Amino acid sequence: MNVFTFLVSAAISLAAVQSAVISHDAVVPFAQPTPTSVSQIAAVNFKPQLHITNGCHPYPAVDADGNTSGGLNPTGSSSAGCKGSGYGSQIYGRSTWYNGVWAIMYSWYFPKDSPLTGFGHRHDWEHIVVWLNNPAITSPEILAVSTSAHSGYTVYYPPDSDYLDGNSAKIDYYSVLLINHAFRMTSDAGETQDLIMWDQLTDAAQTALEDTDFGDANVPFKDANFETKLANSCQIYGRAVEYEGVYAFMYSWYMPKDETLPGLGHRHDWEACVVWLDDITLDEPNIVALSASAHSGYNVYYPPSSSYLDGDSAKIEYSSSYIVIDHSLSATSTAGETQDLIMWDQLTDAARAALEDTDFGSANVPFKEANFQTKLGNAYYA
């Protein structure tokens, strides 16, 4: 072993010895650094505020040396032993371009998730994603906010003005059916914490967050989870009906913009695919055809190649056309991510009314009343 290798190995071994799991109230947070990059400045400018309806207050999860919080057993009241750290709390951030918009993920750590005494588990991580049009322009806009829960996400696009304090999203931490805690947007003001971005953490802290087992809670912004969480924080909308003797499931996605090249395109994009089934009363209905939307119509796959299916799940790709005009959907052999599904009849009255009445410019909501039957006619495979 040469001297250089020995010194590196010794340093790594020493760091491993020094890092430990410590009491939840002994973890010292990172002070918020002065932002220097475009992404860091945007993250500070759009830092959210957190309101606690019930449960623990947020705590730092890791310190500069890589020591991590041991959390709390789910005993006592929902906030017993976790009403705030004497060292101060922490909010963690990580950002990137995703599907043509800027995603800032903000995450908080809670020592336990215990709505009732004896229920819940040690450790909780929750997060939101604030979607911006562009962090580099003079006045970036919030396009949407996605809030996490154990079952998925709630997406607010655009968020109601009551849910914002200038550029700061107002987030509420509350218990869901006395089972666990989740986030939602709120009109109630909350508190802010010192922000530390992923690229501002020490190597020891990053390694600890990557490797520490937080039990039923997962660090949303670590390398293994970050891109998947961003994909899941989007929403898929569904509507179904019998049509021409078969059953049509329309699945729709919203994208905040359709921009194939800088400066080309438009605000908002709605795309949809229709999965055609022979008979939903059968134990195993068959996919008869797929129709994937484009601005000029639909790409119809009748029958779809087996490579375009993963069991009963159609594999759909969102891409720009070869002449770089706009984006469209097509079937693909490449695996993708799934999103939380909300059906038309499961939406709130307010959400349905908003989708019916909102002007999305060059993009149209394919599954609203005025468009649904027409879109099915255009997508029909026979």
Q: What is the pLDDT of residues 86-138, one digit of tens each?
A: 999 999 999 999 877 899 999 999 999 998 877 889 999 999 999 998 999 99
Beta-ladder partners of 129: 105, 146
Q: Is 120 exposed, middle or buried (0-12, 13-18, 19+ CB in 10 A)?
A: buried
Record the pTM. 0.74
The pLDDT value given to residue 321 = 66
Q: Domain end: 172, 200, 232, which one?
A: 232
Cβ-in-10-Å burial (0-12, 13-18, 19+) of 144 comes to buried
Of the two residues 262 and 2, the one the predictor is more confident about is 262
Is residue 214 located within the same domain as residue 245? no
* Chain segment 166-207, per-residue pLDDT in tens: 999 999 999 987 778 999 999 999 999 999 999 999 999 999
Q: How many folded domains does the chain comprise?
A: 2
Q: To 5 degrees, how large is the angle CA 182–CA 129–CA 340?
A: 65
201-241 pLDDT per residue, tens: 999 999 999 999 999 999 999 999 998 899 888 888 999 99
Same domain, 180 and 246: no
Res. 154: pLDDT tops 90: no
| Residue 136 CB neighbours (<10 A) | 11
pLDDT at 17 over 50: no
- Asked if residue 274 belongs to a domain, the reply is yes
Q: Is residue 193 part of a domain?
A: yes
pLDDT over 80 at 156, yes or no = yes
155 with 65, same domain: the answer is: yes
Neighbouring residues of 283: CB distance < 8 A, sequence distance ≥ 6:
none
> What tokens does 347 get?
């939406």
Considering the domain architecture, whether residues 202 and 255 belong to the same structural domain is answered as no
258 and 325 belong to one structural domain: yes
Question: What's the CA dihedral at 305, 306, 309, 315 to 10 degrees?
Answer: -40
pLDDT tens digits, one per residue of 319-364: 886 566 788 899 999 988 788 788 999 887 878 888 899 898 989 9
> What is the tens place of the pLDDT at every residue in 268-326?
889 999 999 999 888 899 999 999 998 778 999 999 999 999 999 999 999 886 566 78
Would the pLDDT of 5 be above 90?
A: no
Of 166, 198, 232, which one is at a domain's C-terminal end?
Answer: 232
Which residue range is the domain that position 267 belongs to?
235-379
Higher pLDDT, 12 or 306: 306
What is the C-alpha to C-alpha distance for residues 157 and 6, in angstroms, rounded to an integer? 54
**Does 275 lie in the same domain as 215?**
no
Predicted local confidence at residue 243, as pLDDT: 96
Query: Residue 381 in contact with residue 291, Cβ under 8 Å?
Result: yes
Cα–Cα distance for residue pair 341/253, rounded to 1 Å: 10
Residues 6 or more apart whose CB falls under 8 angstroms from that of 138 comprise none
Can you tell me the distance from the alpha carbon of 351 to that of 149, in angstroms, rounded to the nearest whole number?
19
Is 34 in the same domain as 147? yes
Largest pairwise CA distance in the chain: 77
Does the residue 284 lie in any domain? Answer: yes
Q: Which residue has the higher pLDDT, 355 or 8?
A: 355
Q: What is the mean pLDDT of residues 56-73?
A: 98
The last residue of one of the domains, among 199, 217, 232, is: 232
